[in-house]
């Protein structure tokens, strides 16, 4: 299968496009991001066109290129927003005086709710990561931050006598993949084609139970 690549004409790392440096520029950028979510949800990533996104934002195509080189650049910006929001909610759950298991459940619930709000763009992430090599690499770099955070929590659990001998990084990767794909199937694709008493609470309970039992166990 032929792999697509993303154009590389971007500002240097750590720099900001001039168009984004003013209040009006930030408002326009936000308009493109909101429009991108709508168009990606409606059309899917591959059918979405920059002209569609610009029209949805009420801006010109030329204006779009002041902010992003490609629709993939816009999508990765939205993916980074998702990652930051999910990470913030996960961190918050561990500062509320809950048990480790309770904090983990709240972190899973936060991810589930965030995915529900952003499922259009996250379906786009899933599609783009299959065919565009550079996008895939950038998305995997974003995921790596979350996996390292989960692995650190597993190491803390191991220091307390839980899950001895478990590989923290591989376990973190497996749990993260389970969470993402479960959300993709049930929120992005309408669920499995099986009979199930599905609702949000049952979904979160199922995910949290699997996660807790994968980490917070001790040898008999």
Check residue 14 and give its pLDDT.
43
Instruction: Identify the pLDDT of residue 19.
Output: 62
* Through-space distance between the first and last CA atoms of the chain, rounded to whole angstroms: 49
| Nearest residue to 167 (alpha-carbon basis) of 215, 212, 216 | 215
Query: CB burial class (10 A; 0-12, 13-18, 19+) of residue 47?
Result: exposed
Domains of the chain with bracketed CATH: 18-64 (1.10.10), 71-215 (1.10.357.10)
Cα–Cα distance for residue pair 88/84, rounded to 1 Å: 6
Can you tell me which residue has the tokens 């659990």?
Answer: 157
Q: What are phi and psi of 4, to 5 degrees?
A: -95, 155
Are 84 and 45 in contact, with CB atoms under 8 Å apart? no
As averages over each run of 10 residues, the pLDDT of the chain (220 residues) reads: 41 53 89 93 90 96 94 92 86 77 88 89 86 85 91 94 96 95 90 90 94 92
Look at residue 147 in the predicted model and tell me its pLDDT.
Answer: 94
| 220's tokens | 């008999």
3-state secondary structure the chain: CCCECCCCCCCCCCCCCHHHCCHHHHHHHHHHHHHHHHHHHHHCCCCCCHHHHHHHHCCCHHHHCCCCCCHHHHHHHHHHHHHHHHHHHHHHHCCCCCCHHHHHHHHHHHHHHHHHHCHHHHHHHHHHHHHEHHHHHHHHHHHHHHHHHHHHHHHHHHHCCCCCCCCHHHHHHHHHHHHHHHHHHHHHCCCCCCCCCCCHHHHHHHHHHHHHHHHCCCCC
Q: What pLDDT score was predicted for residue 17? A: 63
Q: What is the pLDDT of residues 117-146, one digit of tens each?
A: 888 888 888 888 888 887 888 889 889 998
pLDDT at 78: 93
Sign of CA dihedral 193, 197, 200, 203: negative
Q: What pLDDT score does 10 carry?
A: 44
Kindly list the distances between the CA atom of residue 135 and the CA atoms of 79, 129, 143, 193, in Å, as whole numbers in the listed order. Answer: 11, 6, 12, 30
pTM for this predicted structure: 0.79
């Amino acid at each position: 299968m032929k792999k697509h690549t993303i154009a590389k004409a971007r500002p240097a790392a750590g720099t900001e496009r001039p168009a984004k440096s003013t209040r009006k520029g930030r408002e326009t950028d936000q308009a493109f991001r909101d429009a991108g979510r709508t168009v990606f949800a409606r059309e899917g990533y591959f059918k979405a066109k920059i002209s569609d996104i610009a029209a949805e934002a009420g801006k010109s195509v030329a204006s779009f290129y002041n902010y992003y080189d490609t629709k993939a650049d816009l999508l990765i910006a939205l993916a980074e927003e998702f990652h930051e929001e999910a990470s913030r909610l996960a961190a918050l759950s561990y500062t509320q005086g809950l048990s480790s298991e309770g904090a983990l459940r709240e972190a899973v619930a936060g991810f589930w709710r965030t995915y529900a709000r952003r499922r259009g763009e996250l379906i786009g992430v899933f599609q783009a990561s299959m065919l565009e090599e550079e996008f895939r690499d950038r998305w995997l770099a974003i995921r790596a931050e979350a996996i390292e955070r989960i692995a650190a929590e597993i190491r803390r659990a191991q220091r307390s006598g839980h899950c001895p001998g478990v590989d923290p990084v591989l376990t973190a990767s497996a749990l993260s993949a389970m969470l993402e794909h479960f959300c993709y199937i049930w929120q992005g694709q309408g669920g499995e084609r099986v009979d199930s008493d599905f609702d949000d609470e049952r979904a979160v309970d199922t995910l949290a139970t699997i996660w807790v039992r994968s980490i917070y166990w001790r040898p008999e």
